Amino acid sequence: MNKIILIPILIVIAVATSLSLYSFSQTMQPEVKSTPYEIDFTFYDIEKIQSNLLLHGIIMSSPVAITDNTIKQYCTFFDDENVRRTVDYCTTTALVNSDGNAIGNVNLGGTTDGPTMAIAILDSSPFLNSNENEVKIVFQTMIETLVCDCWEKQKPGGFESVNAWIDAAEEKYAESSKTTLKSEISGLDNKKLILEITSTSESYLWTLIILK
């Protein structure tokens, strides 16, 4: 049931991501020293994310593989040349909060040998900060599991924590009249992190993209 409810949200995100190319973009690419972490995340890491989110009352469904032409609705991103890219293989999971409400998805994409990207998409309605705590929990869990538990040591972009990065993006977005805000951090454990906030007609979409 939850997966069926969330599919329309995912269709929107493919459009919302493209909007960031034509609206406000805040990009941060700090110099981050190489670290010994170098986590090469796999599809099996979904189990770690599930366990960690459950501690916070967020339930993640079992992953469902998507291999047909709808894959672009679940696993798509723009490269450094602003070219839209998709992957050959993608899995999607649904997120449900402690109240039983569907709040978003976590998708991993790449090839059958392993993922090269991860996307967390959370819906916030009716206000930008309606699901602020859940956004922070999911995004921090994703980064700690798939990138490294090293943010406070590295302080990429000058942000003390993942929450500080999210708070800064939220504040900047609230001050802007644009549809989409995009903030990038490169080099943390040799990965790129992209945070996007996009408004729709009924809600706001928070997106975290992790690229190897």
pTM: 0.83
Q: Per mean pLDDT, which range of 6-20, 41-55, 80-94, 167-181 is the poorest? A: 6-20
Task: Tell me the average pLDDT across 38-51.
Answer: 89
pLDDT tens-digit readout, 109-155: 999 999 999 999 999 999 999 999 999 999 999 999 999 999 999 99
Of all residues in the chain, the percent with pLDDT exceeding 70 is: 82
Structure tokens at 10: 């995912």
**pLDDT of res. 30:** 41
**pLDDT of res. 85:** 83
**Cβ pair 139, 163 in contact under 8 A:** no
pLDDT(22) > 50: no
Which has the higher per-residue pLDDT, 108 or 14?
Answer: 108
**pLDDT of res. 171:** 96
> What average pLDDT is seen over the chain?
83
**pLDDT of res. 48:** 96
**Cβ pair 91, 63 in contact under 8 A:** yes
Which has the higher per-residue pLDDT, 9 or 208?
Answer: 208
pLDDT(42) > 50: yes
AA letter at 73: Q
AA letter at 138: V
Structure tokens at 57: 């009352």
**pLDDT of res. 12:** 34
pLDDT range class, residue 78, cuts 50, 70, 90: confident
pLDDT(162) > 90: yes
What 88-92 contacts at long range (C-beta under 8 Å, 24+ apart), as own/partner pairs, is: 88/112, 89/65, 90/65, 90/66, 91/43, 91/46, 91/63, 91/64, 91/65, 91/66, 92/3, 92/10, 92/63, 92/64, 92/66
d(CA 109, CA 118): 6
